[in-house]
Amino acid sequence: MLNIGGIVLAMVVIFGGYIIEGGDMAPIIHAAPMEAFIIGGATLCSMITANSMTIIKGTFGGIGKIMAGPKFKKQDYMDVIFLVSKIMKVLKAEGAVALESHVESPEASAIFSEYPRLLKDHSVIHLITDTIRLLVVSSSAPSADSIEDIMNVGIKNHHHEALKPAESMAAMGGALPALGIVACVLGVVKTMSSIDQPPAVLGALIGSALVGTFLGVLMAYSIAEPLSIRLKQIVDDEGQIYHVIKQIIVGTLNGHPMPVIIEAARVSIGHDNQPSFSEIFDGLRGK
């Protein structure tokens, strides 16, 4: 809601300043609906032309994501550390074969079922289970470097896909000023057909045309681009959880001491959601 509040405040400042300077809102109110229809409709059609249905849905869904904020909270990061640490503990104690039933049916796993919120996130679960499957099906133990390379590719690909709605929203922001000019030019064409009218009428027509340019710039720099920046920030924040998973799996395969592995995972989390040292290690001792 903070982001929507920022947009509302921007409107108050812009139009409030205009009114304080003696501006009349009547011409803007009169012209805005049709100008917004032209600009908004053209922008929407351009987005449909440029993107797949998946990205279009993701772009509109991004508004809800912006309002809700990052889906992973501190407890989710703690849970993923606890979950992957338990899996790695079984791996070291009993070998990869002992994990086969857990990764093939995580919803029926005694380990995974302790973390129902994480189970609902398929991308998180798939990164864990697909990586462990490599260890289960390999005739010889794969190297930590090869596992890390595979995880890096998977994480990079997921992040690239997750950013596409934000990129689409940013492209809309880039297009809005130009489409505002299109609406303005149409208004000028309409004005030229009434060139024989008195100055008061021509002034009103020109003012209505200029509202198109104003709305295009306003919608671009006060709405579309700020929202696209915020959506990218959220996607970046949510991507941290995959690096936490990678730190624990790769660190274990490299044979590092578990406290070092856990701390490397913990410090890879952003400060807003980063649990303290004691929260993690007290939690591990209680598991």
pLDDT in tens, 65-94: 999 999 999 999 999 999 999 999 999 999
255 sits in the region (left: phi over 0; alpha: psi -120 to 50; else beta) called left
Residues 130-163: tens digit of each pLDDT: 999 999 888 788 899 999 999 999 999 999 999 9
Tokens, residue 195: 């060139």
Q: Is the pLDDT of residue 1 over 70?
A: no
Write the single-letter amino acid at 80: V
Q: What is the mean pLDDT of residues 255-278?
A: 93
Share of the chain above pLDDT 90, in %: 82
Q: What type of residue is 228? A: S
Mean local confidence (pLDDT), 93-118 = 92
pLDDT at 151: 96
Single out the residue of 240, 247, 249, 246 nearest to residue 269, CA to CA.
240
Q: What is the pLDDT of residue 204?
A: 87
At residue 271, does pLDDT exceed 80?
yes
Give how far Cα 19 sits from Cα of 14, 24, 25, 28, Å: 9, 7, 7, 12
Q: What's the Cα-to-Cα distance from 258 to each of 79, 83, 118, 250, rounded to whole Å?
A: 16, 14, 22, 11
Report which of residues 204 and 218 the model is more confident about: 218
- The whole-angstrom separation of Cα 226 and Cα 29 is 24
Q: Which pLDDT band holds residue 193 (cuts at 50, 70, 90)? A: confident
% of the chain with per-residue pLDDT over 70 = 99
The structure tokens listed for 79 are: 């849970």
Tell me what pLDDT residue 96 has. 86
User: Cα 183–188–193 angle (5° rounding)?
Assistant: 130
Q: What band does 118 get if pLDDT is binned at 50, 70 and 90?
A: very high
Q: Given this model, what pLDDT does residue 286 score?
A: 65
Q: Encoding tokens for residue 95?
A: 């070998």
Whether 73 and 111 have beta carbons less than 8 Å apart is answered as no
Q: CA-CA distance, 173 to 170, in Å (whole number)?
A: 5
CB-CB contact of 240 with 265 (8 Å): no
Tokens for 57, please give them: 């849905």
Find the angle CA(5)-CA(121)-CA(112) to the nearest 5 degrees: 135
pLDDT exceeds cutoff 90 at 236 = yes
Read off the pLDDT band of 287 (50, 70, 90).
low
Whether 24 shows a pLDDT value over 60: the answer reads yes
Contact 176, 38 (CB under 8 A): no
Distance CA 287, CA 285 (A): 6
Question: 136, 100 in Cβ contact below 8 A?
Answer: yes
Average pLDDT over residues 115-127: 95
Helix (H, G, I), strand (E, B) or coil at 33: helix
* Cα gap 91→111, rounded to integer Å: 13
Our CA angle for 79, 235, 124, nearest 5°, is 35
